[in-house]
Amino acid sequence: MSIGSEERGNPSSLRGWLSEVFFPAILASELEPLLLRLGARATLDEPMFGRSSGLADLSAHLERLREKLAETNAKFERYAFVTGIDRDMTEGTLEFDRAELRLALPIAVVAERRRSREVELRVYCRARELPRCTGRAPLSLPPLPAVLPDNVRALLDAFAAGDPVAASALFDPASFTREPTARQREGRANIAAGFVHLLAGGVNFFPTGMGDDGRHCIVEGALLRVHGAEVRPTPSLFVLERSDQGLFRSLRIYDDALFSRE
């Protein structure tokens, strides 16, 4: 693959938000247009092959992803899209073969736009289910957490306190939650029952960034404590949708550590 075209200023043929086109471009072997969209200053952080930056490393990284996804007959189906001031996010389902099984894994891609045309693209999912998983570098956390809307902050406080009643009270009666394992609970009563197990011992989530379009709020960060036990900072993404009443209509979680123990 040519890796010098970005420096020559040639436009990419890919159209759409970067988070939207990431998996479709890889599956269609459109790696050079994707590389152009990422740019020379981009960083890619995903659980199958880790973290890379710079055109040469990104080119090799994308090729390894293409080969692994082709080898496992992977397909990507888009579910939802959210854009904020400095980042966009696409949720979907990645289907692939593993051993004798055909798995469907909820997965999310976040593209953060920084100054000087820098882009960082991050992939979130239950990484242990992927056809290949490599250890991710430890997260470097900022000194202060990201500023969040009051109701989102209240939810994270309830998670930290391990309080299923306070957490579920923030949800609409017709809402649903989905864990990284794809386990889904519908209705406030079922959500509360699920939170009893999910939040047992407390869950400490440190927010590092967020995007909000008024209806949806995406919160990126790191899990620091799960089920009352401290864990190495684990990349995590919470996707919240609001109802017309201001309560949460849904919560979808993407990470490799948080799930109900029942």
Distance (Å, whole) CA 183 – CA 194:
10
150-254 maps to CATH 1.20.140.70? no
- 213 touches 83 (CB < 8 A): yes
| DSSP 8-state code for residue 73 | T
Same fold, 5-129 and 150-254: yes
Architecture of the 5-129 domain: Roll (3.10)
pLDDT at position 10, please? Answer: 54
Radius of gyration over every alpha carbon of the chain, rounded to an integer in angstroms: 18
One-letter identity of residue 105: L
Query: What integer pLDDT is reported at residue 8 of this predicted model?
Result: 38
**How far apart are the C-alpha atoms of 30 and 50, rounded to whole Å?**
21
> What's the mean per-residue pLDDT of the chain?
92
**Widest distance between CA atoms in the chain:** 57
Instruction: For residue range 153-193, list pLDDT tens digits in order.
Output: 999 999 999 999 999 999 999 999 999 999 999 999 999 99
* 107-114: average pLDDT: 96
Evaluate whether 153 touches 160 at the Cβ level (below 8 Å).
no
**Mean pLDDT across 211-232:** 95
* pLDDT(120) > 70: yes
| Band (133; pLDDT cuts 50, 70, 90) | confident
User: In the chain, what are the helix, strand and coil shares in percent, each to the nearest 5?
Assistant: 30, 40, 35
Query: Which pLDDT value is given to residue 132?
Result: 81
**Of 5-14, 63-72, 195-204, the least confident:** 5-14
**b/e burial code for range 65-90 (CB count within 10 A of at least 16 → b):** bbebbeebebbbeeeebbbbeebbbb
pLDDT tens for 60-107 read 999 999 999 999 999 999 999 999 999 999 999 999 999 889 999 999
Whether 6 has a pLDDT exceeding 80, the answer reads no
Q: Can you give the pLDDT at residue 248? A: 98
What is the number of alpha carbons within 13 Å of residue 101 lying toward its C-beta? 8
User: In the structure, how many helices (H) and strands (E) does the chain have?
Assistant: 7, 12
Distance of alpha carbon 54 from alpha carbon 39, whole angstroms: 8
Domain boundaries of the chain, sorted by first residue = 5-129, 150-254
Other CB atoms closer than 10 Å to residue 100's CB: what's the count? 5
d(CA 111, CA 87): 5
Could you tell me if 101 and 73 are in contact, meaning their C-beta atoms sit under 8 angstroms apart? no
Model pTM score: 0.92
In percent, how much of the chain has pLDDT > 70?
94
- Check residue 11 and give its pLDDT: 60
Beta pairing class for 184-186 and 204-212? unpaired
**Rounded distance between C-alpha atoms, residue 177 and residue 247, angstroms:** 13
Between these two residues, 260 and 169, which has the higher pLDDT value?
169
